[in-house]
Amino acid sequence: MLFKSSYRIEFSQSKETVLENIKSSLLENRSNLPKNFIGNVSENGFKIKLLGRYSPDFKGSFDQGNNLQLTVGLGLLQIISLLFIVLAAFYMYYKNEYYTMAIILGLGIFIIQASYYNIKVSKRKFFDYLLSVDSRCKISDI
């Protein structure tokens, strides 16, 4: 994961209860569309993604006790797609096609702004979900 941020979440419930709630919210097949996430849950953590485009990856692992170390970041394919747009703009600059370069650069700026907004919204949705699972959990930056 690139462009990642880390959080520490202290739950008042047991890790088994929290992981079971997250597992019940995973989308397992297309007929179950009210679900929120795709991914997998292990016995000591999870790696999930919210449904939607340019949603960040959420990777969490429990340490001793009920403390969760959560990492939020963009996946490799998302970074490569953004890098491709920037390289295409540089290529058009090299070919002296300034009009095409301006269009590609404008498109790239729009996509980067949209991804930034989606990351903020996805974090807010996920933290709201965690607060609905355990209303007394404490979320802090690392």
- Going from N- to C-terminal start, the domains of the chain cover 2-141
pLDDT confidence bin for 7, thresholds 50/70/90 = very high
- What is the per-residue pLDDT across 94-141, written as a single tens digit (0 to 9) for each? 888 888 888 888 888 888 888 888 888 888 888 888 888 888 889 998
What is each CA distance from 119 to 22, 59, 127, in whole angstroms?
A: 19, 14, 12
Residue 49 per-residue DSSP state: E
| pLDDT tens profile 41-82 | 888 888 988 877 667 888 999 888 778 899 988 777 777 887
Read off the pLDDT band of 33 (50, 70, 90): very low
Q: Are 9 and 129 in contact (CB under 8 A)?
A: no
Distance CA 45, CA 16 (A): 10
* DSSP 8-state symbol, 11: -
Nearest-angstrom CA–CA distance, 121 and 128: 10
Does the pLDDT of residue 4 top 60, yes or no?
yes
No. of H helices and E strands in the chain?
3, 6
Of the pLDDT bands very low, low, confident and very high (cuts 50, 70, 90), residue 29 is: low
Residue 5, pLDDT above cutoff 70 = yes
- Between 3 and 46, residue with greater pLDDT: 46
